[in-house]
Homo-oligomer: A and B are copies of this chain.
Protein backbone atom coordinates (compact mmCIF):
# COMPACT_ATOMS: atom_id res chain seq x y z
CA UNK A 1 0.00 0.00 0.00
CA UNK A 2 1.38 3.39 -1.01
CA UNK A 3 0.50 6.18 1.43
CA UNK A 4 2.34 8.91 -0.45
CA UNK A 5 4.65 9.30 -3.43
CA UNK A 6 7.13 11.82 -4.80
CA UNK A 7 8.56 11.51 -8.29
CA UNK A 8 11.50 13.84 -8.96
CA UNK A 9 10.11 16.02 -6.19
CA UNK A 10 6.51 16.16 -7.42
CA UNK A 11 3.62 14.68 -5.48
CA UNK A 12 2.41 12.08 -7.95
CA UNK A 13 2.38 8.32 -8.21
CA UNK A 14 2.24 8.36 -12.02
CA UNK A 15 5.27 6.97 -13.81
CA UNK A 16 5.69 6.99 -17.59
CA UNK A 17 5.72 3.48 -19.01
CA UNK A 18 8.85 4.49 -20.97
CA UNK A 19 10.87 4.46 -17.75
CA UNK A 20 13.70 1.95 -17.83
CA UNK A 21 12.90 0.89 -14.29
CA UNK A 22 9.76 -0.75 -15.66
CA UNK A 23 11.16 -1.72 -19.04
CA UNK A 24 14.26 -3.54 -17.78
CA UNK A 25 14.47 -3.20 -14.01
CA UNK A 26 17.23 -0.71 -14.83
CA UNK A 27 17.55 0.87 -11.41
CA UNK A 28 18.13 0.51 -7.70
CA UNK A 29 16.13 0.76 -4.52
CA UNK A 30 16.37 1.23 -0.78
CA UNK A 31 13.80 0.36 1.87
CA UNK A 32 14.17 2.53 4.95
CA UNK A 33 12.60 2.44 8.38
CA UNK A 34 11.22 5.86 9.30
CA UNK A 35 10.74 6.97 12.91
CA UNK A 36 9.34 10.33 13.93
CA UNK A 37 9.47 11.46 10.32
CA UNK A 38 13.19 10.74 9.85
CA UNK A 39 14.89 7.77 8.19
CA UNK A 40 16.98 5.31 10.18
CA UNK A 41 20.46 4.20 9.05
CA UNK A 42 20.30 6.97 6.46
CA UNK A 43 23.97 7.11 5.65
CA UNK A 44 24.30 3.36 5.16
CA UNK A 45 21.28 3.36 2.83
CA UNK A 46 22.54 6.29 0.83
CA UNK A 47 26.06 4.91 0.56
CA UNK A 48 24.78 1.59 -0.79
CA UNK A 49 22.57 3.40 -3.30
CA UNK A 50 25.52 5.51 -4.43
CA UNK A 51 27.75 2.45 -4.80
CA UNK A 52 25.15 0.67 -6.91
CA UNK A 53 24.57 3.79 -9.03
CA UNK A 54 28.30 4.08 -9.60
CA UNK A 55 28.60 0.45 -10.61
CA UNK A 56 25.72 0.69 -13.10
CA UNK A 57 26.60 4.16 -14.44
CA UNK A 58 23.44 5.84 -13.12
CA UNK A 59 24.01 9.41 -11.90
CA UNK A 60 23.18 9.50 -8.19
CA UNK A 61 21.28 12.45 -6.68
CA UNK A 62 22.91 14.44 -3.89
CA UNK A 63 22.32 12.92 -0.45
CA UNK A 64 20.86 16.19 0.86
CA UNK A 65 18.18 16.16 -1.85
CA UNK A 66 17.21 12.55 -1.20
CA UNK A 67 17.16 13.07 2.55
CA UNK A 68 14.93 16.14 2.17
CA UNK A 69 12.54 14.22 -0.06
CA UNK A 70 12.65 11.28 2.31
CA UNK A 71 11.51 13.52 5.17
CA UNK A 72 8.92 15.17 2.93
CA UNK A 73 7.28 11.92 1.88
CA UNK A 74 7.49 10.57 5.44
CA UNK A 75 5.43 13.58 6.54
CA UNK A 76 6.14 13.18 10.24
CA UNK A 77 4.91 9.59 10.49
CA UNK A 78 5.71 8.13 13.92
CA UNK A 79 6.69 4.86 12.27
CA UNK A 80 6.64 3.88 8.64
CA UNK A 81 8.61 2.71 5.65
CA UNK A 82 10.05 4.85 2.87
CA UNK A 83 11.14 3.20 -0.32
CA UNK A 84 13.53 5.04 -2.61
CA UNK A 85 13.73 3.86 -6.23
CA UNK A 86 16.37 5.34 -8.50
CA UNK A 87 15.98 4.43 -12.17
CA UNK A 88 18.08 5.30 -15.21
CA UNK A 89 15.05 7.26 -16.47
CA UNK A 90 13.69 7.03 -19.99
CA UNK A 91 15.51 6.85 -23.28
CA UNK A 92 18.21 4.89 -25.00
CA UNK A 93 17.60 2.39 -27.78
CA UNK A 94 16.44 -0.96 -26.58
CA UNK A 95 18.71 -2.25 -23.84
CA UNK A 96 21.36 0.34 -24.70
CA UNK A 97 21.30 3.09 -22.09
CA UNK A 98 21.36 6.75 -23.17
CA UNK A 99 24.79 8.38 -23.13
CA UNK A 100 23.59 11.03 -20.69
CA UNK A 101 20.89 9.38 -18.60
CA UNK A 102 18.37 11.55 -16.76
CA UNK A 103 17.78 9.39 -13.70
CA UNK A 104 14.41 9.35 -11.99
CA UNK A 105 13.92 9.24 -8.24
CA UNK A 106 10.74 7.80 -6.77
CA UNK A 107 10.06 7.99 -3.06
CA UNK A 108 7.05 6.28 -1.56
CA UNK A 109 5.68 5.97 1.96
CA UNK A 110 4.27 2.67 3.17
CA UNK A 111 2.76 1.46 6.45
CA UNK A 112 4.98 -0.34 8.92
CA UNK A 113 4.67 -4.11 8.28
CA UNK A 114 2.54 -5.96 10.82
CA UNK A 115 5.00 -8.69 11.80
CA UNK A 116 4.03 -10.42 15.05
CA UNK A 117 5.94 -8.90 17.97
CA UNK A 118 6.91 -12.36 19.23
CA UNK A 119 9.09 -12.88 16.16
CA UNK A 120 11.57 -10.33 17.40
CA UNK A 121 11.39 -11.51 20.99
CA UNK A 122 11.08 -15.28 20.70
CA UNK A 123 12.47 -15.93 17.25
CA UNK A 124 11.05 -16.96 13.90
CA UNK A 125 10.42 -20.08 11.92
CA UNK A 126 12.32 -20.29 8.66
CA UNK A 127 12.09 -22.57 5.64
CA UNK A 128 14.36 -23.37 2.69
CA UNK A 129 13.25 -22.15 -0.74
CA UNK A 130 13.58 -24.20 -3.92
CA UNK A 131 14.04 -21.12 -6.11
CA UNK A 132 17.74 -20.54 -6.64
CA UNK A 133 19.76 -17.37 -6.93
CA UNK A 134 21.64 -16.95 -10.19
CA UNK A 135 25.27 -15.90 -9.81
CA UNK A 136 26.61 -12.76 -11.40
CA UNK A 137 29.44 -10.75 -9.84
CA UNK A 138 28.39 -7.52 -11.57
CA UNK A 139 24.99 -7.62 -9.85
CA UNK A 140 26.10 -9.13 -6.53
CA UNK A 141 25.60 -7.08 -3.39
CA UNK A 142 23.63 -4.37 -5.19
CA UNK A 143 19.99 -3.69 -4.26
CA UNK A 144 18.78 -3.45 -7.85
CA UNK A 145 15.31 -3.74 -9.34
CA UNK A 146 15.70 -7.25 -10.82
CA UNK A 147 13.96 -9.19 -8.06
CA UNK A 148 12.04 -11.97 -9.76
CA UNK A 149 14.05 -14.60 -7.93
CA UNK A 150 12.94 -13.19 -4.60
CA UNK A 151 9.33 -12.89 -5.77
CA UNK A 152 9.23 -16.52 -6.90
CA UNK A 153 10.96 -17.71 -3.72
CA UNK A 154 8.54 -15.77 -1.51
CA UNK A 155 5.61 -17.25 -3.42
CA UNK A 156 6.67 -20.74 -2.33
CA UNK A 157 4.96 -20.56 1.05
CA UNK A 158 1.66 -19.15 2.30
CA UNK A 159 1.90 -20.36 5.92
CA UNK A 160 1.79 -17.11 7.93
CA UNK A 161 3.75 -18.86 10.69
CA UNK A 162 6.85 -18.98 8.48
CA UNK A 163 8.65 -15.66 8.63
CA UNK A 164 11.31 -16.10 6.01
CA UNK A 165 12.74 -18.44 3.38
CA UNK A 166 16.42 -19.07 2.84
CA UNK A 167 17.84 -19.04 -0.68
CA UNK A 168 20.84 -20.88 -2.11
CA UNK A 169 22.84 -20.42 -5.26
CA UNK A 170 23.28 -23.13 -7.88
CA UNK A 171 26.27 -24.51 -5.97
CA UNK A 172 24.27 -25.06 -2.78
CA UNK A 173 25.70 -22.12 -0.89
CA UNK A 174 23.13 -20.46 1.39
CA UNK A 175 23.16 -16.75 0.58
CA UNK A 176 20.45 -15.33 2.83
CA UNK A 177 16.71 -14.91 3.18
CA UNK A 178 14.42 -13.58 0.46
CA UNK A 179 14.51 -10.17 2.20
CA UNK A 180 17.19 -10.58 4.86
CA UNK A 181 20.82 -11.37 5.54
CA UNK A 182 21.86 -14.37 7.58
CA UNK A 183 24.29 -14.77 10.46
CA UNK A 184 25.34 -17.99 12.10
CA UNK A 185 26.87 -18.42 15.55
CA UNK A 186 29.66 -20.97 15.86
CA UNK A 187 32.11 -21.28 18.78
CA UNK A 188 31.59 -17.71 19.99
CA UNK A 189 32.16 -16.08 16.63
CA UNK A 190 29.85 -15.16 13.78
CA UNK A 191 29.77 -16.38 10.20
CA UNK A 192 27.85 -14.78 7.36
CA UNK A 193 27.61 -15.77 3.69
CA UNK A 194 29.94 -14.24 1.14
CA UNK A 195 28.07 -11.99 -1.27
CA UNK A 196 30.59 -12.06 -4.10
CA UNK A 197 28.34 -13.56 -6.77
CA UNK A 198 24.79 -13.00 -5.51
CA UNK A 199 22.78 -11.62 -2.63
CA UNK A 200 22.29 -8.09 -1.31
CA UNK A 201 24.72 -6.40 1.08
CA UNK A 202 22.18 -5.31 3.69
CA UNK A 203 22.50 -2.11 5.71
CA UNK A 204 21.90 -3.96 8.98
CA UNK A 205 24.34 -6.67 7.90
CA UNK A 206 26.83 -3.85 7.51
CA UNK A 207 25.86 -2.52 10.93
CA UNK A 208 26.36 -5.95 12.52
CA UNK A 209 29.85 -6.17 11.02
CA UNK A 210 30.64 -2.71 12.36
CA UNK A 211 29.21 -3.15 15.86
CA UNK A 212 30.67 -6.63 16.24
CA UNK A 213 34.06 -5.05 15.63
CA UNK A 214 33.54 -2.51 18.39
CA UNK A 215 32.42 -5.29 20.75
CA UNK A 216 35.37 -7.53 19.90
CA UNK A 217 33.26 -10.23 18.26
CA UNK A 218 34.85 -11.86 15.23
CA UNK A 219 32.69 -12.10 12.08
CA UNK A 220 33.89 -14.10 9.09
CA UNK A 221 32.44 -14.14 5.58
CA UNK A 222 32.30 -17.76 4.47
CA UNK A 223 30.78 -20.15 1.97
CA UNK A 224 28.03 -21.77 4.05
CA UNK A 225 25.87 -24.74 3.14
CA UNK A 226 22.71 -26.13 4.67
CA UNK A 227 24.65 -28.50 6.96
CA UNK A 228 26.52 -25.52 8.44
CA UNK A 229 23.22 -23.93 9.41
CA UNK A 230 21.79 -27.08 10.91
CA UNK A 231 24.93 -27.57 12.98
CA UNK A 232 25.13 -23.94 14.10
CA UNK A 233 24.91 -22.81 17.73
CA UNK A 234 22.43 -20.18 16.63
CA UNK A 235 21.10 -18.23 13.66
CA UNK A 236 19.70 -14.78 13.14
CA UNK A 237 18.38 -12.69 10.27
CA UNK A 238 18.72 -8.96 9.65
CA UNK A 239 17.16 -6.24 7.55
CA UNK A 240 16.36 -2.56 7.86
CA UNK A 241 12.75 -3.09 8.97
CA UNK A 242 13.03 -6.15 11.19
CA UNK A 243 16.38 -5.19 12.69
CA UNK A 244 17.21 -8.67 13.99
CA UNK A 245 15.10 -11.82 14.07
CA UNK A 246 16.56 -14.78 15.97
CA UNK A 247 15.78 -18.09 14.26
CA UNK A 248 14.02 -20.52 16.60
CA UNK A 249 13.13 -23.11 14.01
CA UNK A 250 14.85 -24.05 10.74
CA UNK A 251 12.67 -26.50 8.81
CA UNK A 252 12.12 -29.29 11.35
CA UNK A 253 15.04 -28.35 13.58
CA UNK A 254 14.57 -26.34 16.77
CA UNK A 255 17.39 -23.84 17.14
CA UNK A 256 18.94 -22.78 20.39
CA UNK A 257 18.66 -19.06 21.16
CA UNK A 258 21.00 -19.13 24.17
CA UNK A 259 24.22 -18.66 22.27
CA UNK A 260 23.13 -15.59 20.31
CA UNK A 261 25.30 -12.54 21.04
CA UNK A 262 22.63 -10.66 22.98
CA UNK A 263 24.67 -7.55 23.69
CA UNK A 264 25.43 -7.15 19.99
CA UNK A 265 21.85 -7.79 18.91
CA UNK A 266 20.47 -5.30 21.43
CA UNK A 267 22.89 -2.68 20.11
CA UNK A 268 21.92 -3.45 16.51
CA UNK A 269 18.23 -3.08 17.33
CA UNK A 270 18.77 0.24 19.03
CA UNK A 271 20.94 1.76 16.30
CA UNK A 272 18.72 0.47 13.51
CA UNK A 273 15.79 2.30 15.09
CA UNK A 274 17.35 5.66 15.79
CA UNK A 275 16.13 8.28 13.32
CA UNK A 276 19.05 10.04 11.63
CA UNK A 277 17.89 13.62 11.92
CA UNK A 278 20.98 15.19 10.42
CA UNK A 279 21.74 12.50 7.86
CA UNK A 280 24.92 11.69 9.74
CA UNK A 281 26.48 8.30 9.92
CA UNK A 282 25.44 6.16 12.87
CA UNK A 283 28.88 6.67 14.44
CA UNK A 284 27.42 9.12 16.92
CA UNK A 285 24.53 6.84 17.74
CA UNK A 286 26.91 3.95 18.20
CA UNK A 287 28.68 5.92 20.89
CA UNK A 288 25.30 6.61 22.49
CA UNK A 289 24.53 2.90 22.54
CA UNK A 290 27.85 2.06 24.11
CA UNK A 291 27.49 4.86 26.66
Contacts and interface: CB of A to CB of B under 8 A. Distances in A.
B18 A136 contact: no
B17 A5 contact: yes
Contacts of A23: 29, 85, 145, 147
A135 to B, nearest CB: 5
B131 A138 contact: yes
A21 B22 contact: yes
A254 B115 CA distance: 61
Q: How many copies of this kind of chain does the complex include? A: 2
B132 A25 contact: no
A13 to B, nearest CB: 5
B154 A95 contact: yes
A95 B17 contact: no
A2 B18 contact: yes
Given A17-B15, A198-B134, A94 B154 contact: yes
Contacts of A19: 15, 22
Contact of A17 (B1, B108, B139, B147): B108
A215 interface: no
B17 A179 contact: no
A155 interface: yes
B22 A145 contact: yes
Contacts of A17: 2, 5, 7, 13-15, 85, 106, 108
A125 to B, nearest CB: 16
A289 interface: no
A170 B94 contact: no
Contacts of A132: 136-138
A144 to B, nearest CB: 6
Contact of A148 (B25, B137, B198): B25
B26 A147 contact: yes
Nearest to A16: B13
A56 interface: yes
A146 interface: yes
Contact of A85 (B1, B22, B87, B135): B22
23 contacts: A13-B16, A14-B15, A15-B15, A15-B17, A15-B19, A23-B29, A23-B85, A24-B25, A25-B145, A25-B147, A25-B148, A26-B151, A95-B153, A96-B154, A97-B154, A97-B155, A131-B138, A134-B136, A134-B198, A136-B149, A136-B170, A146-B148, A170-B197
Interface of A: 1-2, 5, 7, 13-26, 29, 56-57, 85, 87-88, 93-97, 99, 106, 108, 113, 131-139, 144-155, 158, 170, 178-179, 197-198
Sorted nearest first, the 7 A-B pairs with minimum C-beta distance are A134-B134, A25-B25, A146-B146, A134-B136, A24-B147, A95-B154, A14-B14
